[in-house]
Chain A
């Protein structure tokens, strides 16, 4: 125990805090295994979970996913890509979007919330959830959504999310009320402190220079400084704003756009049609298919500027010094035609947020349903979880199950016989 103590403290920067805390023994185990480099035990357990995902045939498949994800969280304290947590969450969440019975299952909703926290656009995902009816009866859904708004400093929306929750009759009401009260308290305190700050800030501002303003005349001479200081046409475009009548509005400030104040996110309540297929792409300036050989490039007159003729060959020999040799090209293995090596590796996933992928997948499914396309192998089983299985692995597992069943039956039949157990080992 004494050594374990040191271990978590030494690695504290590499341990992601979890909302529900960590199992200290699991943490010790994970850290010590990491240090020794023995990941085989972890891998074995992972494999076992993956197998269970595929072989499970009870009536609560979510349970396996839930346990698997919690195990991953505890086993990979530093998170990161190798844990595969995000991928797993995404798969889990997508797998059950059609299952109405899970939509207000607290485990499923919690998975969604965890998934959402890893998304770049959590608010969209929450709206999507609401549109799909996922978690709309769960207090935790509204709490998480409201927290997201609060994080962005939008406490009004945070509050209205709670109102939504009350309206929908989310369970449990107590919890919802408790968090709502806490939010109100926080907002109040914030306002109090900001009022106090303002009071202290109320001292007269130091005179500040306003940018893009006219120069004021100073002293007795009331000559107005020339406004349009730049001469010629260049300054004219910029000078437009100085054309206002010179008068009392000298110190008018620029209007500064404040997105928080003016437009409280106009898209807020567009909830419909998240799952709907986007309408055909709005393309403009499309050319109709045509025969290219008939097309003639419109040529303008000699004096027009659209004629682009290749420069004529000079009718003289450019002088080349005899000693001058063509520059030696350094031998280069890379084909110079391929010069987009670096740009080719740009990660494409950036623009594809998990939410988009989710929608795409749904569309794909619809497509498959419509077109009658059907994969004639157990695609789901192969690609479930985070690792891919081969047919052989699945078959082997089924075989193993059957055999152990048979052996069990045999051992029951033959009462206390030891032999089946020994043969199980090979």
Chain B
């Protein structure tokens, strides 16, 4: 079975991508100060140190989302995941982190594992998370207390699970958009992008 060790299956890919989102969302929440820094603890993952929340409610919520996401990734029905950061007082959308997910649906029928080493994938994931951290160089300071929301775009005909509800896209008008790096497991490809309110300076 040395071949499966080398390659990657749909299930493995779904797990990898879901894991990326769990760390990625935690990273965003920490970097952007949505939750106080004291409630995070440091873990080592992908050969780098990352911050994971210790807040039980948030942890629970994120696990729920990620488990659900994993299912959808496995079914190849998810198109986008968006982290929306809104001002707590005015509900204005201030930042929008969008992760476009391209699924290779042929992987569903054809169960043969793809050739891509775990190391290469992790390397790509690492650079995405690094870039998330680096975005503080141009993002505006979030001056007010903020809340976040997760939106998941799926294929149209999908049933909405109980804990989920339909929502609008929550776009920012007059936004500045910056593409970040992308990574692929050769089954799922994730393109990331951050949008923020444009400054009125120019």
Contacts and interface: CB of A to CB of B under 8 A. Distances in A.
Contact of A73 (B89, B140, B178, B201): B201
Interface residues of A, number: 26
B179 A19 contact: no
Contact of A178 (B89, B197, B202): B89
A22 B180 contact: no
A15 B131 contact: no
B198 interface: yes
B120 interface: no
B136 A189 contact: no
Interface in A7-31: 8-9, 12, 15, 17-24, 26-27
B138 A27 contact: yes
Contact of A1 (B38, B144, B179): B179
A24 B178 contact: yes
A9 B131 contact: yes
B201 A15 contact: no
Contacts of A26: 202
Interface in B23-81: 36, 38
Contact of A23 (B137, B145, B176, B180): B176
A146 interface: no
B196 interface: yes
Contact of A22 (B131, B143, B199): B199
A74 B201 contact: yes
Contacts of B197: 21
A157 to B, nearest CB: 20
B134 A22 contact: no
A12 B140 contact: no
B176 A24 contact: yes
Interface string B141-178: 10111000000000000000000000000000000111
Contacts of A17: 136-139, 141
A360 to B, nearest CB: 32
B108 interface: no
A398 interface: no
Contacts of B137: 8, 12, 15, 17, 22
B201 to A, nearest CB: 4
A20 B134 CA distance: 16
B181 interface: yes
Nearest to B200: A20
A249 to B, nearest CB: 42
Contacts of A74: 201-202
Contacts of A5: 178-181
A193 B38 contact: yes
Contacts of B179: 1, 5
Contacts, number: 70
Contacts of A9: 130-131, 134
A174 to B, nearest CB: 8
A356 interface: no
Given A74-B201, A74-B202, A182-B145, A20 B140 contact: yes
A22 B140 CA distance: 7
Contacts of A19: 140-141, 143
A1 B191 CA distance: 14
A351 to B, nearest CB: 32
Interface hub of B130, B199, B200 (most chain A Cβ within 10 A): B199
Contact of B139 (A1, A21, A182, A189): A21
Given A9-B131, A21-B176, A23-B199, A15 B140 contact: no
Interface in B82-137: 89, 130-131, 134, 136-137
Nearest to B136: A17
A370 to B, nearest CB: 41
Contacts of A179: 143-144
B97 to A, nearest CB: 15
A406 interface: no
A70 interface: yes
A23 B145 CA distance: 23
A182 B145 CA distance: 7
A145 B176 CA distance: 30
Nearest to A67: B201
B123 to A, nearest CB: 15
Nearest to B89: A178
Interface of A: 1, 5, 8-9, 12, 15, 17-24, 26-27, 70-71, 73-74, 178-179, 182, 185, 189, 193
9 closest Cβ contacts across the A-B interface?
A: A21-B140, A22-B138, A70-B201, A15-B137, A12-B134, A20-B199, A12-B137, A19-B141, A24-B178
Given A8-B138, A18-B141, A178-B89, 19 more contacts: A8-B134, A9-B131, A12-B134, A15-B138, A17-B136, A17-B137, A17-B138, A18-B140, A19-B141, A20-B199, A21-B176, A21-B197, A22-B138, A24-B138, A70-B201, A71-B201, A73-B201, A182-B145, A193-B38
8 contacts: A5-B179, A5-B181, A15-B138, A18-B138, A18-B141, A20-B200, A24-B176, A70-B201
